[in-house]
Structure 1
Amino acid sequence: METVFGKQEITRIIENLKKDYDAMKNATVNIAISGQSGAGKSSLINAIVGRKVADVGITETTLHIKKYTSNGIHFSDLPGCGTEKFPIKTYLEICNLESFDAVIVVTANRFYENDIWLIKEMIRIGRPVYVVRTKMDESIRNGKHDDNLTEYEVFEKVKNDIKSNIGNIEIKGVYLTSSREPQKMDLSKLLIDIEQNLTGIKKQRFMADVAPLNEQILKEKSILARKAVSYGAYSAAANGINPIPGLDISLDIAILLTMSKEIQKIYGLDEKSINELSRRMGNNANFTIIKTKAAQYAAKFVAKEGIIMLLKRLAVNIGSKEVLKYIPFIGQVAAAGIGYKMTDSFGSDLIEDSEALVREILIKSQAEITR
């Protein structure tokens, strides 16, 4: 009777967790990026997600909608409005602007009449607009060299210029950024503000996919990672109840591998993200340390051999007599409890190591910026 109840209870929990988990994984956040050619739109996209998804350095005029995808975030680089192919009269319909969850208007110097028109139209149809001034590292250097201005004075000058162009239009905010120095300035604030203006499951999807630029974003990612662990732990519990001869262990490892890769992406520790970090930092001593630790992390949590070694250690620490106090539901069989606890412990170690590595990356990459 207890086993039957346990099976039914775990099945119900897994179905609910899977429903929520799949909803987040299948959700999409559609973001429009608008701005003049050479304004740094591609670099901004890459900085937002912490990996290279858009080619940088190509400055030809956008003649069609360019789409870039990073997991659940879908970016659309919009063509300029008011051209023969994209006349203002039909621009909203041609670009399907009502389909976007957010609009980022990018500038590296000044606003144009069509930029202001687009901002007004997007606000009119109820879409949140974020104005981003890119290449601020260059502006700071130029301000210091040309006018002997401090960093603060350059910030104030640029913000005042933007506000004078926008006037009383109710945008969500003005954000000064540098894609070369993503931790610095306003990029993390932009990401947090976008997330706060999203609704429902889109909030989770967005936070799962953006770069972990500060502690606030890291905290949001921790919540999402714990959900992935819960789903994996209950799946392992079900696997313990319904063992498949010859496949029980391999199924457990498959669950852990899937969970590890998902959490690795959430924290921006996958290969693409590390490669983007390499591009920014170069092959210096700080990055060499990070690269080594990232490889050790992957070998421990994302390689089958490393997972088996960790499972052996966890198995020693989790005695069968201790299983029942770890089971979060009543009347479950020991095999399910062991599977649940081992997966949960593995996931906790994974989250702890992920966050420690991210924090070290933030510190070391910031050290490169301040050199």
Structure 2
Amino acid sequence: MDFSYNVLTEEMQDTNSGHSGTDSFEKITDEEIKEIQSALEDGDLCRATERLIKSLEEIENALLNIAITGESGTGKSTFVNAIRGMGDEEEGSAPTDVVETTKEPTPYTHPKYPNVTFWDLPGIGTPNFAAAHYLQSVQFSQYDFFIIISSERFKQCDIDLAKAIKAMDKKFYFVRSKVDNDLDASQKRRKKTYNEEKILKVIRDNCIENLHDGGITEPQVFLLSCLDLDKYDFHKMEDTLEKELPSHKRHIFLISLPNISLPVLEKKRKALRKNIWKWSTLSCAVAAVPIPGLSVACDVLILIKTMRNYRSAFGLDEQSLKKLADKSGKDVSELKSVLKSPLDIKEINKELVIKLLTKGAGGALMVIEYAFSNIPIVGSMAAGAISFGTTYWMLHGFLNETAEDAARVLKKALETPV
């Protein structure tokens, strides 16, 4: 695995200058630093280790509940399936039909991250619809934010619902779905003058003007096609949600995104990279405990768990590759042929990790100098410096190789047969 001195230098500079989003060593909060340093000064390694574990668990186990609502027939269920990386006919997918199929709030958990749930809410816009009553009936307080979907112009019921959501101090976003249908129809009618960019602008401006007229002062509107999620405003919506979500929920949101584009893969790489220092510091803390064999056992468990998570997040596990092969009309062996890292085609088990650990100490040495001078916790644990450096070096290298392989696999899947 490649890990250059220059890369580490740049990442540490990013951290020290406070460039969030690109730094590898996610800055520790002042509260965390004081608590962990206090434990170390008291010689209480158990308390310091517990704080690190708690911090990691808070990130990995954060609950995210997203409500999908709008009039019936606007594509709510299709959106729920697409955002989870699923097709409409897969087991566990939300049922879709030309008529309203959702009669009560229905939870659909992410196939890989069960703490992420998309709620398909009943359609609005019936003659008896009342926004406040609707929100009470669907238990609005349990959702982190609402996505209001319309396949045409946003109507009064959408506007009333948005106002009621705002009054209850919740976030909401508008999605104009089925944009591909509008573009196809326009292209058929105006073959000579067809201009996709201009048509999208007209649709967006019309939506915003309509919402303005209804009293929504700063509507956030995203144009999407649930059948081709990567097009139009998906990345704009993704960026907006990333910025506006609380920090402890931002990570799981990014990791749960479907691997549909290179920008998504890069966001995942950066999100996962931010936690490497915590896993490495946990390794360091355990290494300082004078129990023979404990450090190696901990390192093996950390590396197995984290490396498997990386592979799954980037869709390089066997099930995800088969699913992508079916969707792209290619053979699994064809997708695997572009994998360059030998670790992405091997079983990640105890034997493999122990073998890697024996090779990792050399690469770890270049990490240690920076760890002592820039990360307070490691500087207090000289006995664990090698464990920190080895774990950091191995996870950083594996993450980069896995992300690069995922990009190669996606490009191969999107290739059009000659």
Please, what TM-score do these two structures have when normalized by structure 2?
Answer: 0.72
Residue equivalent to 1:355: 403
How far is 1:192 from its partner?
1.2
Q: Contact between 1:51 and 1:276, CA under 8 Å: does it hold in 2?
A: no
Q: Which residue among 51, 65, 87 is the counterpart of 2:105?
A: 65
Q: Relative to 1, partners in 2 of residues 1:6 and 1:354: Cα closer, same or farther, differing over 3 Å? A: farther
Q: Which residue among 344, 353, 356 is the counterpart of 1:310?
A: 356
SS at match of 2:401: helix
Q: Which amino acid aligns with 1:65?
A: P
Q: Which residue among 322, 342, 346 is the counterpart of 2:394?
A: 346
Q: Relative to 1, partners in 2 of residues 1:294 and 1:176: Cα closer, same or farther, differing over 3 Å? A: farther
Residue equivalent to 1:225: 272
Structure 1 runs not aligned, ≥5 long: none
Worse-matched range after superposition: 252-261 or 122-131: 122-131
Q: Counterparts of 1:215 and 1:30 in 2: how far apart (Å)? A: 26
Q: Relative to 1, partners in 2 of residues 1:108 and 1:283: Cα closer, same or farther, differing over 3 Å? A: farther
Q: Counterparts of 1:51 and 1:132 in 2: how far apart (Å)? A: 19
SS at match of 1:293: coil
Q: Counterparts of 1:77 and 1:294 in 2: how far apart (Å)? A: 40
Residue equivalent to 1:151: 196
Worse-matched range after superposition: 291-300 or 308-317: 291-300
Q: Contact between 1:50 and 1:273, CA under 8 Å: does it hold in 2?
A: no
More helix by share: 1
Q: Contact between 2:328 and 2:414, CA under 8 Å: does it hold in 1?
A: no
Q: Which residue among 18, 21, 24 is the counterpart of 2:59?
A: 24
How far is 1:349 from its partner?
1.0
Q: Counterparts of 1:211 and 1:365 in 2: how far apart (Å)? A: 14
Q: Which amino acid aligns with 1:73?
A: V
Q: Which residue among 180, 200, 219 is the counterpart of 1:137?
A: 180
Q: Deviations over 1:109-136 (max 9, x none)?
A: 3444432321232233332221112233
Q: Which residue among 162, 177, 185 is the counterpart of 2:232?
A: 185
Q: Relative to 1, partners in 2 of residues 1:103 and 1:350: Cα closer, same or farther, differing over 3 Å? A: same
CA RMSD of aligned residues (A): 3.8
Q: Which amino acid aligns with 1:230?
A: W
Q: Relative to 1, partners in 2 of residues 1:362 and 1:145: Cα closer, same or farther, differing over 3 Å? A: same
Residue equivalent to 1:209: 256
How far is 1:51 from its partner?
5.2
1:1-371 matches, within 5 Å, as 8=43, 11=46, 13-50=48-85, 55=93, 58-59=96-97, 60-70=100-110, 71=113, 72-81=115-124, 88=131, 90-148=133-191, 149-168=194-213, 169-211=216-258, 218=265, 220-242=267-289, 249-270=296-317, 273-283=320-330, 288-289=334-335, 293=339, 297-300=343-346, 302-315=348-361, 325=369, 328=372, 329-330=378-379, 332=381, 336-364=384-412, 367-368=415-416
Q: Contact between 2:124 and 2:157, CA under 8 Å: does it hold in 1?
A: yes
Q: Deviations over 1:218-249 (max 9, x none)?
A: 55534432343223222323443346566764
Q: Which amino acid aligns with 1:66?
A: T
Structure 2 runs not aligned, ≥5 long: 1-38, 373-377
Q: Contact between 1:225 and 1:266, CA under 8 Å: does it hold in 2?
A: no
Runs of 4 or more consecutive aligned structure 1 residues displaced over 6 Å after TM superposition: 4-7
Q: Counterparts of 2:169 and 2:40 in 1: how far apart (Å)? A: 49
How far is 1:313 from its partner?
2.8
Q: Deviations over 1:127-146 (max 9, x none)?
A: 22211122333332232123
How far is 1:309 from its partner?
3.7
How far is 1:186 from its partner?
0.9
Q: Relative to 1, partners in 2 of residues 1:239 and 1:261: Cα closer, same or farther, differing over 3 Å? A: same
How far is 1:189 from its partner?
0.9
Q: Which amino acid aligns with 1:233?
A: S
Q: Which amino acid aligns with 2:386?
A: I
SS at match of 2:169: coil
Q: Which amino acid aligns with 1:359?
A: A
SS at match of 2:275: helix
Q: Deviations over 1:85-110 (max 9, x none)?
A: 97656212111224322211122334
Q: Contact between 2:48 and 2:285, CA under 8 Å: does it hold in 1?
A: no
Q: Counterparts of 1:313 and 1:236 in 2: how far apart (Å)? A: 17
